[in-house]
Chain A
Amino acid sequence: MKILVVDDEVDVQPLFTQRFRKEIKNGEIVFTFALSGEEAMAYLEENHSEVILILSDINMPGMSGLELLKNIRSTYEKPPPVVMMITAYGDDENYKQSMELGANDFLTKPLDFTNLKEKLKHIEQ
């Protein structure tokens, strides 16, 4: 399963690779990282058919997570990738907007990885 993680914080990358070390080692999950919405769109243009899940931060300089979500939903209809939004601000407004724009899930920082792993299992099934 290929997962694209979009976050302007570089340190998110080692966190994910370490957290999912076993899964990566076993070849269950492949992580790709993008530091901005623009970078994510560029990557998807090339590899959109491979990416099953997109995890995106909302507060990013340039294209925000919500804009990215809108772009993804308008550009890629088939097969629609699963998009989960992540934000430090678990406020209602962001949640509402994300859901309206077609996000599959809404996660708050700090990420509960145990919970995330559970969700990934569901997607695989």
Chain B
Amino acid sequence: MSFGLEPLIAIFLASQLRKTLKSEGISSPWSQYLLYAFYAAVAVICLGFSGFGHSLFITLLGHLLIFALAALTFTRDEFKTNRPLVTSVIPYVIITFFSDIIEKVFVNFYNDYNEFFESAQWFAILWFGAMWFINRRQGKALEIERKKRRDEEEQNRMMAAMKVNLEGEVKQRTAELTKQKEELQQALTELKSTQAQLVQQEKMASLGELTAGIAHEIQNPLNFVNNFSEVSIELLDELKDGPFKNLPEDSLQEANEIMHDITQNLAKINQHGKRADAIVKGMLQHSRATTSKKEPTDINALADEYLRLSYHGLRAKDKSFNAAMKTSFDENIGQVDAMTQDLGRVLLNLYNNSFYSVAEKKKLIGDGYEPTINVSTKLIKPAQGGSIVEITVADNGLGIPQQALDKIYQPFFTTKPTGLGTGLGLSMSYDIITKAHNGELKVETKEGEYARFTITIPAVSN
């Protein structure tokens, strides 16, 4: 062999390795080094042409380059795919290496066995051709396989991305559903409480109507009871002043005694008849609550006036009673359309109850307890427009027991002893506020500590 193919093989190997790097998409400093190897191989070829081709040094340099490149495929993973290519050239490389060495060093030996070396070289070339052919086919199949794998990987990546996406969506949907569920649950709770309220209102309404009906029916007979008892007392007086005087002394004494008893009985009938009459009047106010007209009313003045009225009414009955009254009026309220008399009655009821409650507590506890009534008014501007007047009557009295709380607006429900309360005050107040004023009457209380009634009515200011 006068002319070495080694540098060409080196160029071929270097460019193949670089191609591999490029097609695998790996950025590595080896790309640069392979380029140097490529230039080195080109340099070796140029030196060969310039006449140094037969020097041992140049030949060895070509061999060394090929060995280095071949070793690269067995030492570095990124060039693994080029191993079959290298194995196909390796026989030729080794044979030429030895034949070159022998040619240069043992010239005689080489000349003797020249034919052997040449046939070995040819064998190596054939080997290379066959191997290269097989490799190409294998490479193609491998390439297809690799492409498939790449597609699969791509698909997997897409699926993973879709999965992440889907999971996000599921999470979002779940959150939405949970939110909806909570909203529905809240709506349900609200509906339930509204329903309960409606049932309660309906009960109240029918009770109120019933009460008014009963009152009308009772009123007439009761009038007779009262009228007849009165006229009977008068008649007895006439009897005493007239015919009785003609009775003999001994029977007059007894007759007068009996007469006295009858008069007293009649007075009792009349007294209790009047009591019943007062109750009936109270009941009738239920039905009349809605008949009066609304007029511009100074809520603050009304609240103040009736507070004083209630307090002095109680003081008139019980001189020892005293209570602190605290008022806080919102001056922005001004005039509000309301049924002045009826609203006054409601306030009076609430005040009377509060004063009664603190008075009872004072009796129980005595010193150290300060009976206090707080009255406040407030103008509220809700977000949905309009304005609302809120009147709060709070006391630090006995409060309302839990089991009584449901019944306080029922007609005839009272916790006061017989004769002190008709059980119509709050029932009527409830009607006046809710029906006649489209407002609300609410209570907050803790037994033994406080009771706070809050009236809210829509304010139509003038």
| A residues apposed to B, CB below 8 Å | 9, 11, 15, 18-19, 21-22, 88-89, 91-92, 109-111, 113
Contact = CB atoms under 8 A, between A and B. Distances in A.
Given A18-B231, A19-B231, A88 B291 contact: no
Nearest to B277: A110
Contacts of A109: 219-220, 223
Given A15-B228, A18-B235, A21-B238, A110 B223 contact: yes
A51 B288 CA distance: 36
Interface in B196-254: 216, 219-220, 222-224, 226-228, 230-232, 234-235, 238
B313 to A, nearest CB: 24
A9 B231 contact: no
Contacts of B291: 91-92
24 contacts: A9-B220, A11-B228, A15-B224, A15-B227, A15-B228, A18-B231, A18-B235, A19-B227, A19-B231, A19-B234, A21-B235, A21-B238, A88-B216, A88-B219, A88-B220, A88-B223, A91-B288, A91-B291, A92-B291, A109-B220, A109-B223, A110-B222, A110-B226, A111-B227
Interface of B: 216, 219-220, 222-224, 226-228, 230-232, 234-235, 238, 277, 288, 291
Contacts of A15: 224, 227-228, 231
A91 to B, nearest CB: 7
Closest 7 CB pairs between A and B? A110-B223, A18-B231, A109-B223, A19-B231, A88-B219, A15-B227, A110-B226
A122 B386 CA distance: 56
A19 to B, nearest CB: 5
Nearest to B293: A92
Q: Chain B CB within 10 Å — which of A22, A89, A110 has the most?
A: A110
A49 B453 CA distance: 63
A121 B220 CA distance: 27
A59 to B, nearest CB: 9
A92 B219 CA distance: 18
Contacts of A22: 238
